[in-house]
Structure 1
């Protein structure tokens, strides 16, 4: 639970920052983009979360290559690539204690 909450928080934060670069997005039907991420980069879905207005945020990553991609799927089924990069690591950090 802690890992999921931490990962979703990071992913949503990145999504907000990346939203400022809307011009750079690539959008297509979800099944086409998922197929491309899987076949070309070996990425599989690692994280999922619900964003505003019914959008679904997902993080795809490959443990073998370290590549990762953040996507957002809108209610109409269109999926947009928000960010991508290298050096993906699966982490399970403990949350800081409540003060």
Structure 2
């Protein structure tokens, strides 16, 4: 896993850990298969990264290199998936990892 992906996953996990309750109560939630199917069919998005948060919640990032759209989801232990962020202009970065203790 490259540095960008690790940093992104850490940020998502922090976001999900603090905002999980609010996200679960939004209207952007549905069974995981429904959400993933819709992201694929409507936006051409595929999973790019995954991480686990506290409370056994799974955070995933989906994106489309063709359209540049991206979506961040969080799946609860119940199997319900909520969209916690989405946007445009996504691009994949392959950056070298910075050794621990070194400035970024």
TM-score range, shorter chain: 0.7 to 0.9
> What residue in structure 2 maps to residue 2 of structure 1?
2
- Work out the CA distance in 2 between the residues paired with 1:66 and 1:7: 17
> TM-score w.r.t. structure 1 length?
0.83
Q: CA RMSD in A?
A: 2.2
Map residues 17-96 of structure 1 onto 2, 5 A cutoff.
19=19, 22=23, 24-96=26-98
Consecutive unaligned residues in structure 1, runs of 5 or more: none
CA contact (8 A) 1:25 1:81 kept: no
> TM-score w.r.t. structure 2 length?
0.79
CA contact (8 A) 1:48 1:59 kept: yes
Kindly tell me: are residues 13 and 94 of structure 1, through their superposed partners in 2, closer, same or farther at Cα, counting changes over 3 Å?
A: farther
- Work out the CA distance in 2 between the residues paired with 1:51 and 1:91: 23
- Work out the CA distance in 2 between the residues paired with 1:91 and 1:11: 17
Consecutive unaligned residues in structure 2, runs of 5 or more: none
- Work out the CA distance in 2 between the residues paired with 1:13 and 1:56: 12
CA contact (8 A) 2:13 2:52 kept: no
